[in-house]
Amino acid sequence: MKQFEKFLRSRFAAALLAVLVGFIVSAIVLAIAGYNPIQAFAALFKGAFGRPKYVANTIIKATPILLTGVSVAFAFKTGLFNIGAEGQYIVGTVLATIVGVKLNLPMPVQIPVVLLSGIVGGAALGSFVGWLKAKFGIHEVITSIMCNWIAFYLCNYVVMSDTFHKPNSSSALAVNPSSYTMILGTWKKSAAGKEFLAGVPWLREVLLKTDLNAGFIIAIIVAILASIVLTRTKLGYELRAVGFNRDAARFSGISVERNIVLSMLISGGICGLAGALSITGTSPHTITLLAAMESYGFNGMSVAFIAACSPLGCIPSSILFSALIYGGMSVQQVMGAPSDIINIMIGTIVFVTALPGIAPLLADMVAKKRRAEENVRVSKDGTPLPEKEA
């Protein structure tokens, strides 16, 4: 009983409870709408993990939301709410496209340069938001929302500019192939590559039918580094100290303004990296005219909150989120159920996650029951007696 009580007080229990409630609510909605919940969930998981290429696509879609989730979690741990992850992601895609189109260096040089350009773009926008907060006290939520729209229209401007617009399309020119971060690059589609992969059917399916790239590995490394920086370094201590209590941090000699800007710079840079990896790792390797936000940054917020703003927790959270989005399409294709069911599930999971008192409340109920059982004394004939009569 004590172990179960301890489990209920853990972060993992809160996340697991949120996911469970999300599935239960979705099952109820499906049943009311006349669909079999078990068949729907089977279609969902089969659509996300049923074949090697489905697993690969789930991982590919998890990469940008893992990075934007880590970005939001990093800022939140330092007392800042980076709701501008979407805009920083978009700026990362824009600068990565510009550099990837204009430069055509050898691949070992081209890829780091293109990725660095995305990081710089996201970091610049993030640090601008942080500077406004540190210098003028303007709340980061307000400025980052405004910057999202600045990034949105900047993207459309670059797409339609004479320099970068691809004729007879609604997209910009694609980056040079030396920028690609797909596994085995363009070689896998050559005659030699196809012959090499012919002997391994599952690998052939994954590499030839998806854009599997190195992005998820890079994202995992970034999540690990973010966790180390926050918990194991002097910089992380100062950033968290400013987030916990700015007056106490200032009294101890920590520069509050510098750390606010630095936190948003790092957070924005991670989002910019997410954007750059999307350009270098997946087709069509360019930006397109946006009619609405792509929601990578907003989905990253959900990933961060499901993970209790733990950078490492964002790894499984992003895979779950990606599986729900990608596998959810199969629910509509196989059963004809509306895709809004998945949105209801995701919304419920995030909603329950935002209620951190539920799991501890259950733990308190378990503890109360355990104490009541421990306080009962048993008479000689086995009849339970109150404590005072024992």
**Both tokens of residue 157?**
């401007």
Cis peptide before 284 (omega within 30 of 0): yes
Would you tell me how many other CB atoms lie within 10 Å of the CB of residue 389?
Answer: 8
The pLDDT of residue 389 is 46
The pLDDT of residue 24 is 87
Three-state helix/strand/coil letters over the chain: CHHHHHHHCCHHHHHHHHHHHHHHHHHHHHHHCCCCHHHHHHHHHHHHHCCHHHHHHHHHHHHHHHHHHHHHHHHHHCCCCCCCHHHHHHHHHHHHHHHHHHCCCCHHHHHHHHHHHHHHHHHHHHHHHHHHHHHHCCCHHHHHHHHHHHHHHHHHHHHHCCCCECCCCCEECCCCHHHCCECCCCHHHCHHHHHHHCCCHHHHHHHHHCCCECHHHHHHHHHHHHHHHHHHCHHHHHHHHHHHCHHHHHHCCCCHHHHHHHHHHHHHHHHHHHHHHHHHHCCCCCCECCCCCCCHHHHHHHHHHHCCCCCCCHHHHHHHHHHHHHHHHHHHHHHCCCCHHHHHHHHHHHHHHCCCCHHHHHHHHHHHHHHHHHHCEECCCCCEECHHHC
Q: Where does residue 390 rank: exposed (0-12), middle (13-18), buried (19+ CB within 10 A)?
A: exposed
Name the pTM for this structure: 0.88
Rounded Cα distance between 82 and 268, Å, is 8
Rounded Cα distance between 100 and 96, Å, is 6
Would you tell me how many other CB atoms lie within 10 Å of the CB of residue 374?
Answer: 10
**Both tokens of residue 163?**
């320099």
In this prediction, the residues of the chain whose per-residue pLDDT falls under 70 are 1-11, 353-371, 373-390
Note the pLDDT tens digit of each residue in 162-189: 999 999 999 999 999 999 999 988 788 8
Would you tell me how many other CB atoms lie within 10 Å of the CB of residue 361?
Answer: 12
The pLDDT of residue 356 is 56
Rounded Cα distance between 64 and 248, Å, is 36
Specify the length of the chain in residues: 390
Rounded Cα distance between 76 and 71, Å, is 9
Domains of the chain plus CATH, in order, are: 1-35+341-376 (no CATH), 52-336 (1.10.3470)
The pLDDT of residue 375 is 66
Rounded Cα distance between 47 and 38, Å, is 14
